Amino acid sequence: NAGVTQTPKFQVLKTGQSMTLQCAQDMNHNSMYWYRQDPGMGLRLIYYSASEGTTDKGEVPNGYNVSRLNKREFSLRLESAAPSQTSVYFCASSGRQDYGYTFGSGTRLTVV
Amino acid sequence: LAKTTQPISMDSYEGQEVNITCSHNNIATNDYITWYQQFPSQGPRFIIQGYKTKVTNEVASLFIPADRKSSTLSLPRVSLSDTAVYYCLVGDIGDSWGKLQFGAGTQVVVTP
């Protein structure tokens, strides 16, 4: 069982370029999330999707868009990358709330 | 949202017990307390969750006093592999977990 799979693992972008981070879970979870983690800091929520067909902004949504393609997949798009978006991005999912989140292994993004 | 406060860092030796206390003075009636562990270059991992009194699993114990304004994560007989960042989260288990905030966590360093 793969859990939460994120692609790519590493990416370097030039300022102004766009890209989509992919996330898929195979645990039949309803809720999915995108976080960013800057060096030495905790995770900050970008967007989340409580269920298929719904998305909501988190703490730091500016500069990002998301798509809940189906129950399994939740993608994060950077339309015009900026150096301030250099970070590690984590996708997570949750089903039964008493089991907490399951996180992916992260995407390390550098914007130059 | 219940704000949490935990120490920035803690040092320990192998074989000792590590106790990390998290303060959450404005915890609400429906809030649960959840702890996560994060190793470098990995996503956080769910450790334990509780509502009141004591919860124990194969990894840790969680102590919650009657007033629930704080909680203590106890890691028995730590090893080098327990070196990680530990996060305390407080939130309504019936609500969307997407509203939870991770904070900076507690860096635990275990030395021989």
Quote the CA–CA distance of A48 and B44 in Å, as a whole number: 17
Query: If contacts are CB pairs under 8 Å, which of residues 17-56 in chain B contact chain A?
Result: 32, 34, 36, 41-46, 49
Query: If contacts are CB pairs under 8 Å, which of residues 70-109 in chain B contact chain A?
Result: 87, 93-94, 96-98, 100-105
Helix (H, G, I), strand (E, B) or coil at B98: helix
Residues whose CB falls within 8 Å of the CB of residue B3, separated by 6 or more in sequence, listed in order: B24, B25, B26
What letter represents residue A65's amino acid? N
Q: How big is the A-B interface in CB pairs under 8 Å?
A: 63
Quote the CA–CA distance of B103 and B105 in Å, as a whole number: 6
Instruction: Tell me the nearest-neighbour CA distance from A98 into chain B, angstroms.
Output: 7
Quote the CA–CA distance of B38 and A96 in Å, as a whole number: 21
Per-residue pLDDT of A16-70, as tens digits, reads 999 999 999 999 998 899 999 998 788 899 999 988 889 999 989 999 999 998 9
For residue A76, pLDDT beyond 90? yes
- Closest to B97 in 3D by CA, of A52, A71, A9, A32: A32
